[in-house]
Amino acid sequence: MPVMDEFKEEREALKHGTPKQKFAYFLDYYKWHVVAALAITGFAGSLIYQAVTRKEDAFFAAMVNIYEMASSEEHIRNFAEYAGIDLDEYNVVFDTSIHIDNSSMTQDTIASTQKLMVFIAASELDVIMADEAVIDQYAYNDSFYDIRDVLTDEQIQKYEPCFFYMDQAVAEAVSAAQDDPDYDYSQAPAHPDPRKPEMMEKPVPVGIYLDNADSLKEVFYFLNGDGVLAVPATSPNLETVPKYVDFILEPQAAQ
């Protein structure tokens, strides 16, 4: 008997079948369709729920080569209260998963470098906190704001002794030389001491040393010393950055 005729006979017989027989028939012929439909519906629902309930980031800090010694929850809560951020509506994030060691290009370093660049390109980061060597590397690739364009006049006056500088003249010389296909990177001019702007031709402050950030150091440990805060040129929440700077550098702010 042809398959279609057999199928028609089964359907006709089921018209007079018991509910149990009808349900068994349904499972035999349609259960995988139902499973697939439920899976798709569940996945779509999950995506919609995440999109609707996902909180925006009010502040996102990338912590490079930094170890979280104690839970950062209290630090986050205190900063949110200081900055007037409602944690029921917004996130405050400190990502300590990024580890970069340019002296040995391990898989971890390569993956972390890519992750950091994606964060910067996607305009997700508000600040980067890292050791002097990492900040210096990115500073000479035009990755950061002139910190004076981010801080208030009062803050500039107050924190200027803590500024981290790069020499724009060196960056321009390297950029111009790179147009030469025979450029030898080993002959590139050395980067001046970032604490000595008087030794630079065109000093530009692109960060703040965190030597006095005692409340921050109670939670986070800079593995290579000389912690520096810098602001990526793509920072989406510039209005929050000055508040965080005061929060970690003013002793009474974090209390």
Same domain (yes/no): 32, 80: no
pLDDT given for residue 221 in this prediction? 95
Q: Specify whether the CB–CB gap between 140 and 174 falls below 8 A.
A: yes
Whether 137 is in a domain gets the answer yes
Residue 151: CB atoms within 10 A of its CB come to 23
Residue 237: inside a domain: yes
Is 173 part of a structural domain of the chain? yes
Q: Is residue 254 part of a domain?
A: no
115-153 residue pLDDT tens? 999 999 999 999 999 999 999 999 998 999 999 999 999
Identify the burial level of 211 via C-beta atoms within 10 angstroms of its C-beta, where 0-12 means exposed, 13-18 middle and 19 or more buried: middle
Sorted by sequence, the CB contacts under 8 Å of residue 206 that are 6+ apart come out as: 135, 139, 144, 145, 146, 147, 164, 165, 166, 230
**Residue 216 belongs to what domain range?**
56-249
Same domain (yes/no): 183, 219:
yes
Instruction: Based on the fold, state whether residues 34 and 153 are members of the same structural domain.
Output: no
**The token pair that represents 204 in the structure block:** 């530009």
Residue 42 within a domain: yes
Based on the fold, state whether residues 149 and 28 are members of the same structural domain.
Answer: no
d(CA 158, CA 1): 93
Q: Tell which of 52, 74, 92 closes a domain.
A: 52
- CA 176 to mean position of chain CA atoms: 31
Tell me: do 121 and 77 sit in the same domain.
yes
26 and 75 inside one domain: no
Residue 247 CB coordination number (10 Å): 20
User: Which helix (DSSP H) or strand (DSSP E) does residue 91 occupy?
Assistant: strand 90-98
* CATH code of 242's domain: 3.40.190
Q: How many domains does the chain have?
A: 2
The answer to whether residues 118 and 181 touch, using CB atoms and an 8 Å cutoff, is no
Residues 28 and 113 both lie in one domain: no
pTM (two decimals): 0.76
Which residue type occupies 51? A
Angle at 245 between CA 59 and CA 143, to 5 degrees: 70
The predicted structure's pLDDT at residue 19: 53
Residues 14 and 129 in one domain: no
Judgement on whether residues 24 and 100 belong to the same structural domain of the protein: no
- Locate 112 and state its tokens: 């972390």
Residues 128 and 186 in one domain: yes
For residues 101 and 169, state if they share a domain: yes
Q: Is residue 255 part of a domain?
A: no
pLDDT per residue, tens digit, the chain (255 aa), is 554 555 555 555 545 555 555 445 544 554 554 445 444 554 444 334 344 446 899 999 999 999 999 899 999 999 999 999 999 999 999 999 999 987 877 899 999 999 999 999 999 999 999 999 999 999 998 999 999 999 999 999 999 999 999 999 999 988 887 777 766 766 778 899 999 999 999 999 999 999 999 999 999 999 998 899 999 999 999 999 999 999 999 875 655
Whether residues 47 and 168 fall in one domain? no
Residue 139 lies in a domain: yes
> Which tokens hold the place of 203?
């000093």
Mean pLDDT of the chain, nearest integer: 83
pLDDT in tens, 189-223: 889 999 999 999 999 999 999 999 999 999 999 99
